[in-house]
Amino acid sequence: MRVLIVDDEPAARSRLRRMLAAEVDVAELLEAPDAPAALALVEGLAAPPDLALLDIEMPGGNGMQLATELRGAGVRCVVFSTAHAEHALTAFELAALDYLLKPCTPERLAAALARVREHLARPEAAVGEWWVNGERVRLADVQWLSAADNYIELHVPPRHLLERATLAEALARPGWMARFVRVHRSHAVNPAHVQRIERLSSGEAVLTLACGQTLRVSRGYRAMLASFAP
């Protein structure tokens, strides 16, 4: 396991480094004092780290935004290590595997690493696929996505799968934006499954999907109807 520690406090980096050095499967430890340095470091590597341990409040950039950028650079796992408990909900919305409060104990770090190992043991999804709660899903089979509080539902009729993410975060993922079209604040559809479009006098529209489900297109998204050719 290759681990990147990002924290502007040298003492905090040193503490994490000592605890991680005791883990037999940690093959390499990398460090950066802030977000710009972390991004520059990862961009210069032949392969991204497996895990990023991130502080949140740092000069030069917020750890939440950094997490998103590191995910885009290929880092598979993110764990936050911070003194600020109030950001936990947002962290898990970003699909962080754990949220450690400083000062972190070796036992607490070990629990987080167990989650990381479990995640890394899963094979990466191929292009056009996604892992949802241990199940590999073909995005082409997903007829629509719907928002459910801090989760999204992936509808693969007759089933639906629940994943912690916002609809905006899901649609920003590589490959998802090209697959799904947002037609409402609460849902996005796969145009390949649209069977019928009914335009309403209000300026809205109703889509009928292959499974028979109907979804409303709100006026704010009616320009997206050009994406459909049922």
pLDDT along the chain (230 residues), means of 10: 96 95 94 95 93 92 87 87 86 80 94 91 73 82 92 93 85 82 94 93 92 94 76
DSSP calls for 104-145: PPHHHHHHHHHHHHHHHHSPPPPTTEEEETTEEEEGGG--EE
Query: Token pair of 166, please?
Result: 């916002």
Ordered strands of the 28-32 beta sheet: 28-32, 2-6, 51-54, 77-82, 98-101
pLDDT in the model for residue 93: 64
* Domain ranges (residues) in the chain: 2-121, 129-227
pLDDT in the model for residue 132: 80
pLDDT in the model for residue 118: 87
> The tokens 């320009």 sit on which residue?
223
pLDDT in the model for residue 191: 93
The CATH class that applies to domain 129-227 reads mainly beta
pTM assigned to the model: 0.61
> The tokens 């990398």 sit on which residue?
30
pLDDT in the model for residue 127: 66
pLDDT in the model for residue 26: 94
The CATH class that applies to domain 2-121 reads alpha beta
* Contact (CB, 8 A) for 184 and 221: yes
Nearest to 194 by CA among 213, 219, 175, 176: 213
